[in-house]
């Protein structure tokens, strides 16, 4: 038997910010990954073969991950008609809806643009797919009719993000928790028997849940729980 209190006060465990002598660690989670650069020698060979402009050759080399002359030439032959084939390779990409903490994978973004998706739509897809170009392409094609709506929702959520974060911080200040449920086991051992649950409802009374049977519990076995669930107070 374990004497588990119905109320927990963990206020003493809450952080109170930097303490004397402590230094905040640098924020490196939002640092953009190092971008792949086109092999200058390979770009020069393509250009010398008359395969297109220098920018087109760079796009081809990046698209095949510097894999070699033949893959780059094949890619160029398949994409000669792309509207942006001769455009300069962008050095950085705009974030979606002003979300400065996300930087789109430049190569994946370029490939998605080659599929006639806008920069904002492609960036939104990459943001939702952890910068995975293949997943982002599937995400875009499966949402063709709602892309503008999704983009607007993303921009609106970014505008409202700051006040929501501050409210969350306020809620975290409370370190007191109330027990709201207990899962216990009926049987001789864990290899056999049955699991049941006692839940404390808003009226302050405990109710016993056993499959489809539910009834009021006068003395819930709070000292025989297998799993205890607590809810933080508002």
Residue 63 and residue 134 in contact, taking contact as beta carbons nearer than 8 Å: no
187 falls in which pLDDT band (50, 70, 90)? Answer: confident
Q: What is residue 106's predicted lDDT score, i.e. its pLDDT? A: 84
Find the distance separating the first CA and the last CA of the chain, reported in whole Å.
30
Residue 115 and residue 137 in contact, taking contact as beta carbons nearer than 8 Å: yes
pTM greater than 0.85: no
Burial pattern 22-36, b for ≥16 Cβ within 10 A else e, equals eeeeeeeeeeeeeee
On average, the pLDDT of the chain sits at: 83
pLDDT tens per residue, range 115-164: 888 888 999 999 888 888 888 898 998 888 899 999 888 888 766 555 54
Residue 33 and residue 105 in contact, taking contact as beta carbons nearer than 8 Å: yes
Residue 52 and residue 76 in contact, taking contact as beta carbons nearer than 8 Å: yes
Strands (E), the chain: 7-9, 176-186, 194-200, 206-210, 213-217, 225-232
């Amino acid at each position: 038997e374990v004497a588990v209190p119905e109320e927990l006060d963990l206020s003493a465990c809450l952080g109170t910010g930097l303490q004397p002598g402590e230094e905040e660690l640098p924020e490196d989670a939002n640092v953009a990954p190092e971008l792949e650069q086109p092999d200058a020698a390979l770009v020069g060979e393509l250009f010398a073969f008359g395969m297109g402009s220098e920018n087109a050759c760079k796009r081809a080399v990046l698209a095949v991950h510097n894999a070699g002359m033949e893959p780059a030439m094949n890619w160029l032959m398949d994409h000669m008609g792309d509207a942006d084939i001769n455009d300069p390779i962008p050095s950085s990409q705009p974030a979606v809806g002003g979300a400065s903490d996300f930087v789109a994978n430049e190569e994946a973004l370029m490939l998605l643009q080659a599929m006639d998706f806008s920069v904002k739509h492609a960036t939104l897809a990459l943001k939702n797919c952890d910068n995975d170009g293949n997943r982002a392409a599937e995400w875009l094609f499966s949402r063709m009719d709602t892309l503008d709506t999704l983009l607007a929702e993303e921009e609106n959520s970014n505008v409202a993000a700051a006040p929501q974060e501050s409210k969350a911080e306020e809620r975290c200040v409370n370190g007191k928790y109330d027990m709201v449920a207990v899962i216990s086991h009926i049987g001789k051992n864990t290899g056999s028997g049955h699991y049941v649950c006692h839940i404390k409802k808003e009226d302050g009374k405990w109710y016993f849940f056993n499959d489809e049977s539910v009834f009021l519990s006068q003395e819930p076995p709070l000292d025989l729980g297998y799993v205890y669930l607590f809810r933080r107070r508002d």
